[in-house]
Amino acid sequence: MKRSEIKYNQNERKKVTRNIIFAADEICSLVSIVVPWCFALL
């Protein structure tokens, strides 16, 4: 494997990790909005 390929793979992995963290953050903020509403409706 060429050096540039290794670098590319590392960059892709970082991007994926960042996307997962971003998605998790979005989900958490959604949950924190939705959950109080659920309790309010109960």
At 9 the pLDDT is 87
Residue tagged 């958490």 (tokens): 28
Q: What is the model's pTM?
A: 0.58
Q: What is the pLDDT of residue 26?
A: 94
Q: Report the distance separating Cα 38 and Cα 35, nearest Å.
A: 5
Provide the pLDDT for residue 3: 84
Query: What whole-number distance in Å separates Cα of residue 42 and Cα of residue 37?
Result: 9
What is the predicted pLDDT for the residue at 15? 94
| pLDDT number for residue 1 | 63
| Positions in the chain whose pLDDT score sits under 70 | 1
Looking up tokens 């971003």, which residue turns up?
22
Identify the domain containing residue 22 by its residue range. Answer: 1-42
Count of the separate structural domains present in the chain: 1
Cα-Cα-Cα-Cα dihedral sign, residues 26, 27, 29, 33: positive
